[in-house]
């Protein structure tokens, strides 16, 4: 076994890092330039970051780094050490370190997701990973706890963990941004209120991504209402391709597959081509018309059309709520699994003939869905992080009617957040106070 060389010059000086003052002015600039109706937000406090590593007290001439870890202040614990991956025999064949930012990192969904990312399960066994955890002032202690547990897990691929509460610092050079953090709807809060509160978070995070993330960062918005949050986010990040933003509807797709399998009496791996159309809300449309079981159209296998139109759709929509009743809280583990599925679907080629669902920007869609919203549609990927919409899709009156309803809801949500997308004064006239999946 070759003894690892850990060369001190490998400390990465982040020459591209914008200073706080620059960021503030950039933020102000963007604000003035794009979004005249933006409400001025209190700037999030700059990151308070802790690092448990002590100055190096090794007393033998081991080839270890000798610089003060303060040069890299956002690191955590053992991850404050810098490793020259190229110099280590075992890691020479690894890919370049990938930066993955996760918001809501102290929450339950992230708690499942982070350990999956760190284990290599998502990006593969030759992909070293840097995790950048975004939390809030309130969750900072818990965030340290998460970082400690990541340390104690000894994941070989996990080479950096940093924690912070300023998205402009945490999103620096991010190649993936998994935006989970959002406020849940409180008692008596209307959907319009939720749209506004969470929309502000995603407007701010869009600006941060625009300022500091990789120019080709892939963004998956999980925090609800995720479609409109994703729209707000991409509108505030004009320098990042709109196509790179996704709203997570993969959990709905997975649930739909499971329900179809249950009904048909087959294992769930026999169900394919399931699309979730539209909004991640109760107007979502699980598409049984194009779905297949053992390669056959679902409608030829499950001939109970009433079940498909009524019970199936309702089962998928209400699954989250049933789970909350049973489990006492929202799904976390299965949501994390579906985020992993969503990422894997973008970084591995889609199996021949199949597709996956993702809430993506509608502009240029072949289905005639309104432009300039984020709508869940069927996608295929070559595995390069990008995707194409699937063209050969059947529609019938039932499917169109349902899709139109979800489209109308998203267009109304869009008007309701106009102040956050730079499109003027918000007008909130939502078509009924629809619930999010899982809301009671």
Least gap, CB of 71 to a copy of itself (angstroms): 14
Q: Which is nearer to a copy of itself, 6 or 408 (CB)?
A: 6
Q: Which is nearer to a copy of itself, 332 or 430 (CB)?
A: 332
Distance of alpha carbon 43 from alpha carbon 30, whole angstroms? 14
Of 136, 204, 131, 189, nearest to 161 by C-alpha is: 131
Q: Is the peptide bond before 360 cis (omega within 30 degrees of 0)?
A: no
Distance of alpha carbon 403 from alpha carbon 396, whole angstroms? 11
Partners of 91 in beta bridges: none
Q: What are phi and psi of 367, to 5 degrees?
A: -100, -10
Of 362, 81, 131, nearest to 231 by C-alpha is: 362
- Per the CB < 8 A criterion, the answer to whether 299 and 288 are in contact is yes
Torsion, CA 132, CA 135, CA 141, CA 143, rounded to 10: -40
Least gap, CB of 358 to a copy of itself (angstroms): 16
Q: Which is nearer to a copy of itself, 18 or 53 (CB)?
A: 53
The interaxial angle of helices 250-264 and 313-327, nearest 10 deg, is 100
Least gap, CB of 318 to a copy of itself (angstroms): 12
Burial of residue 372, with CB atoms counted within 10 A of its CB: 0-12 exposed, 13-18 middle, 19 or more buried: middle
- Per the CB < 8 A criterion, the answer to whether 360 and 369 are in contact is no
Torsion, CA 84, CA 51, CA 126, CA 360, rounded to 10: -130
419 belongs to the catalytic site: no
Least gap, CB of 135 to a copy of itself (angstroms): 12
- Per the CB < 8 A criterion, the answer to whether 356 and 378 are in contact is yes
**Cβ-based neighbours of 325, under 8 Å, separated by 6 or more:** 440
CA angle 279, 369, 292 (to 5 degrees): 70
Length of the chain: 440
**Cβ-based neighbours of 300, under 8 Å, separated by 6 or more:** none
Residue 365, helix vs strand vs coil:
coil
Q: Which is nearer to a copy of itself, 145 or 424 (CB)?
A: 145
Least gap, CB of 331 to a copy of itself (angstroms): 6
Residue with structure tokens 């919409």? 389
Q: Which is nearer to a copy of itself, 349 or 431 (CB)?
A: 349
Q: Which is nearer to a copy of itself, 37 or 348 (CB)?
A: 348
Least gap, CB of 337 to a copy of itself (angstroms): 4
Distance of alpha carbon 189 from alpha carbon 112, whole angstroms? 28
Least gap, CB of 236 to a copy of itself (angstroms): 32
Q: Which is nearer to a copy of itself, 101 or 298 (CB)?
A: 298
Q: Which is nearer to a copy of itself, 241 or 297 (CB)?
A: 297
Least gap, CB of 54 to a copy of itself (angstroms): 7
- Per the CB < 8 A criterion, the answer to whether 23 and 168 are in contact is yes
Least gap, CB of 268 to a copy of itself (angstroms): 5
Q: One of 31, 246, 280, 419 is an active-site residue; which one?
A: 280
- Per the CB < 8 A criterion, the answer to whether 100 and 133 are in contact is no
Structure tokens at 332: 């976390």
Q: Which is nearer to a copy of itself, 296 or 427 (CB)?
A: 296
Q: Which amino acids are annotated catalytic?
A: 280
């Amino acid at each position: 076994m070759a003894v690892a060389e850990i060369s001190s010059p490998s400390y990465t000086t982040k020459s591209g890092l914008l200073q706080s003052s620059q960021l503030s002015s950039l933020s102000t600039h963007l604000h003035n330039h794009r979004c005249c109706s933006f409400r001025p937000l209190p700037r999030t406090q700059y990151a308070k970051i802790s690092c448990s590593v002590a100055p190096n007290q090794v007393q033998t001439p081991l080839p270890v780094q000798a610089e003060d870890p303060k040069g890299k202040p956002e690191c955590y614990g053992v991850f404050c050490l810098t490793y020259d991956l190229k110099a280590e025999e075992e890691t020479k064949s690894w890919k370049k370190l990938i930066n993955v930012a996760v918001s809501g990192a102290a929450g339950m969904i992230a708690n499942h997701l982070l350990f999956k990312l760190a284990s290599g399960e998502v990006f593969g066994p030759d992909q070293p990973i840097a995790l950048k955890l975004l939390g809030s002032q309130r969750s900072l202690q818990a965030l340290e706890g998460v970082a400690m547990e990541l340390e104690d897990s000894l994941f070989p691929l996990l080479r950096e963990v940093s924690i912070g509460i300023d998205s402009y610092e945490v999103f620096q050079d991010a190649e993936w941004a998994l935006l989970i953090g959002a406020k849940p709807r409180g008692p008596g809060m209307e959907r319009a209120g939720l749209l506004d509160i969470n929309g502000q978070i995603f407007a701010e995070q869009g600006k941060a991504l625009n300022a500091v993330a990789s120019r080709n960062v892939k963004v998956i918005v999980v925090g609800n209402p995720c479609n409109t949050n994703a729209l707000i986010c991409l509108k505030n990040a004009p320098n990042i391709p709109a196509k790179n933003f996704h709203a997570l509807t993969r959990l709905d797709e997975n649930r739909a597959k499971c329900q179809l399998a249950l009904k048909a009496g087959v294992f769930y791996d026999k169900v394919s081509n399931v699309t979730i159309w539209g909004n991640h809300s109760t107007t979502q449309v699980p598409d049984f018309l194009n779905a297949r079981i053992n390669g056959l159209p679902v409608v030829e296998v499950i001939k109970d059309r009433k079940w498909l139109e009524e019970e199936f759709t309702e089962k998928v929509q209400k699954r989250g709520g049933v789970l909350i009743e049973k489990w006492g809280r929202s799904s976390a583990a299965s949501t994390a699994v579906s985020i992993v599925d969503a990422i894997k679907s973008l970084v591995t080629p889609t199996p021949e003939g199949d597709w996956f669902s993702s809430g993506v920007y509608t502009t240029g869609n072949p289905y005639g869905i309104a432009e300039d919203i984020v709508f869940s549609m069927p996608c295929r990927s070559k595995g390069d992080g990008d995707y194409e919409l699937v063209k050969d899709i059947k529609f019938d009156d039932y499917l169109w009617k349902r899709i139109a309803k979800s489209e109308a809801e998203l267009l109304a949500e869009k008007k309701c957040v106009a102040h956050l997308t730079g499109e003027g004064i918000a007008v909130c006239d939502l078509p009924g106070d629809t619930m999010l999946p899982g809301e009671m």
